[in-house]
Structure 1
Amino acid sequence: MKTFFEILTAATEAERMQLYSVPQITDARHGNITRDSYLAYLEQAYHHVKHTVPLMMAAGSRLPESKEYLREALVEYAEEEVGHQEWILNDIKHAGGNAEQVRRGEPNAATELMIAYAYDYVSRINPVGFFGMVFVLEGTSIQLATSVADSLQTALGLPENCFSYLASHGSLDLEHMKFFENLVNQIDDPDDQQAIIHVARRIFILFARVFESIPHKETLKHVV
């Protein structure tokens, strides 16, 4: 019998492949992007990562007492995630970008819509669905973060302190994903399971749009 984690992974395969096929991601894996594109990625990363802990708090506050174990898990996640947006700002500064301008700025529309969707689902439909977003972001980080950081450092000739966010999250999120797998396999409510699958599918697509919104040399070929 398949575990729920296995079901979740299989049910979101098409959307995951859609994300991984975005040119900005496929080129980054080969170190084939510019410093400006990398800075643009970090800017959007800042604008969604700064919502990670608030979203966890929002989800946790809406869980019923019968799901206290999920609230406890969110507290543990939040303790490890707090302040990570500042790592991104430090990377921006060390890579020659304007960190304070990014802090005061606004996200691309795609990033804003992804975050708005997550808040809306948590507050209006089912807070357990938030774990679908966790699945997307941590799974993507495991697949891409460390390898992309190594490729970009070599290609762009930037020092290690420009990649603290990416380089740390690949290995860190391996541990998180093991924790996540054990956690979601305890969820046996069919409505909660479907909420997680639904949100994961939507976030994979919305996250792909975030990457597609980042200026990149490949997009210029399609400009008429």
Structure 2
Amino acid sequence: MTIDTTPATDDVNSADVATLFERLGEVWAELEEQLERVPVLSRLDDGTVTIDDYRRLLFNLRQQVVDGSPWISRAASNFDIDHFELRAAAIKHAEEEHRDYLMLERDYVAIGGSLEELRAGRKNIGSEALSGYMFHYADQPNPVGLLGAMFIIEGLGAKRAAGWAGRFQEVLGLADSQVHFMQYHQEADGAHTGDLEAILTSGLIDDVAADEIVRCAQVVARLYALQLEELDR
């Protein structure tokens, strides 16, 4: 996501921005605690994860990743002209991400999975809840709160995905071509989180929007963790 913004410099806005980042930091800390309790990630951490675990993880992630670009596009269509910067940023972001699921599919096939079965799969309980929430929120007028969703989703890509990929490689002996989806998102989502920070510090976010951003981040954090907890259900 790319946006041309000028960071806020006055004392009041600076204090508000600092408070927003502190609140989002608390949401992130809660998410980290939730992820520690996710069975597949616990097995990954202690070295008992299996190739079947990794295959199941990709299978379940793919069903939600397919929806990523569509909900971003939906959100873009609901920003009015007074939120032109956010609309333009969302359009650019959707274009950058709409082929991401293809990388995941290639990784899945590279570890012996069936592309036909993958594409015929359905969302698990958590993925259903997450995608349903994202599309519902994206349908609202000027859905600024979705910046909180991006804080969580892009943050996971930037801060956790490459580490997960490296650990899967270490434990299972996988090649780069089998974990490319996760590796790619460290760099791509790192750039997106930088763009997100520019938006949050641009002066575009008032107190009401800040509350919506934090609340959306809280919901998405819980639902994303639920998606990982409910593999195959």
Q: Same fold (TM over 0.5)?
A: yes
2:101 paired residue number: 85
Deviations 1:28-66 (A, max 9, x none): 245431111111111121111111110111101111110
Deviation at 1:172, TM superposition (A): 2.0
Residues 1:12 and 1:157: Cα distance change in structure 2 (over 3 Å): same
Preserved contact between residue 126 and residue 195 of structure 1 (Cα < 8 Å): no
* Amino acid aligned to 2:214: I
Preserved contact between residue 148 and residue 217 of structure 2 (Cα < 8 Å): yes
1:95 to 111, 131, 140: 111
Deviations 1:80-132 (A, max 9, x none): 21210011111000010112211122111211111101111222475112221
The separation in 1 between residues aligned to 2:25 and 2:147, in whole angstroms, is 16
Preserved contact between residue 83 and residue 142 of structure 2 (Cα < 8 Å): no
2:178 paired residue number: 162
Aligned-residue sequence identity (percent) comes to 25
1:3 to 6, 17, 22: 17
2:220 to 198, 203, 211: 203
2:5 paired residue number: none
1:20 to 35, 38, 44: 35
* Amino acid aligned to 2:57: Y
Residues 1:189 and 1:59: Cα distance change in structure 2 (over 3 Å): same
Deviation at 1:190, TM superposition (A): 2.0
Preserved contact between residue 91 and residue 165 of structure 1 (Cα < 8 Å): yes
1:74 paired residue number: 90
The separation in 2 between residues aligned to 1:145 and 1:118, in whole angstroms, is 21
The separation in 1 between residues aligned to 2:96 and 2:34, in whole angstroms, is 26
Preserved contact between residue 78 and residue 141 of structure 2 (Cα < 8 Å): no
2:132 to 105, 113, 116: 116
Deviation at 1:76, TM superposition (A): 1.8
Preserved contact between residue 28 and residue 152 of structure 2 (Cα < 8 Å): no
TM, length-normalised to structure 2: 0.85
2:206 paired residue number: 189
Deviations 1:17-36 (A, max 9, x none): 33332232243245431111
SS in 1 for 2:113: coil
* Amino acid aligned to 1:39: R
The separation in 1 between residues aligned to 2:108 and 2:39, in whole angstroms, is 22
> Which range moves more in the overlay, 60-69 or 180-189?
180-189
CA-based RMSD: 1.9
Residues 1:99 and 1:30: Cα distance change in structure 2 (over 3 Å): farther
Preserved contact between residue 11 and residue 197 of structure 1 (Cα < 8 Å): no
Preserved contact between residue 72 and residue 138 of structure 2 (Cα < 8 Å): no
Deviation at 1:154, TM superposition (A): 2.0
